Amino acid sequence: MEPPKTKRIKHDLLYYVSRCATLFSILMYVSYIPQIMNNLTGVKGNPIQPLCATLNGALWVSYGLIKAEKDWPVIIANLPGIVLGLVTFLTAL
């Protein structure tokens, strides 16, 4: 059995890592905005990667919603991927 202090340190580390991962997932999807703007001005990008990101985000959001105890960091981190990935995909066509 772990000492209480070690359990607390692991819990704190997990908390901060999950928050950073959520933030960077959102930033990853927000980085599509320049590509969307380029697509709208006629400089078309490859639609395959944003389509995969859309499907990936949808699967992770589904996972977070299906769990008995909703996994809100996973849901929040991947919702922008569905919207922005889909918009990027559609504008790249």
Residue ranges of the chain whose pLDDT lies below 70: none
Which of 79, 89, 82, 86 has the alpha carbon at shortest distance from 22? 79
pTM: 0.83
Instruction: Give me the CATH number covering residue 81.
Output: 1.20.1280
Number of folded domains that form the chain: 1
* pLDDT score, position 89: 97
Which of 54, 55, 45 has the alpha carbon at shortest distance from 91? 45
CA distance 30 to 22: 12
Q: Are 26 and 75 in contact (CB under 8 A)?
A: no
Burial of residue 47, with CB atoms counted within 10 A of its CB: 0-12 exposed, 13-18 middle, 19 or more buried: middle
Q: What is the pLDDT of residues 72-92, one digit of tens each?
A: 999 999 999 999 999 999 999
Domain that holds residue 32: 4-92
